[in-house]
Homo-oligomer: A and B are copies of this chain.
Amino acid sequence: MTSRFNLTKEHPMPLINVQLFEGRSTEIKRELAQALTAEACRVLGCGKDAVDIIFTDIKRSDWARAGELWSDK
């Protein structure tokens, strides 16, 4: 497919940061990294070496929605 081929040549280089509540296991992160990388490559038409993913754990007491910490909800 032409547009995908062009995307490949253009190196889309996705760098993905995933912020999520702490407590996910390494097994879950491993599976999520594989899944997000596979989908990014499929949609963007790039090789998987081009994909970086960084997970950032957030404490529920460090995230607020509607002015209320998640640890208080």
Contacts and interface: CB of A to CB of B under 8 A. Distances in A.
B13 A16 contact: no
Interface in A9-29: 10-21, 23-24, 26, 28-29
B7 A14 contact: no
Copies in the complex: 6
B49 A53 contact: no
Contacts of A37: 64, 66-67
Interface residues of A, number: 54
Contacts of A66: 37, 48-49, 51
A20 B24 contact: no
B28 A32 contact: no
Given A18-B40, A28-B44, A29-B69, 5 more contacts: A16-B16, A17-B19, A32-B44, A36-B40, A51-B67
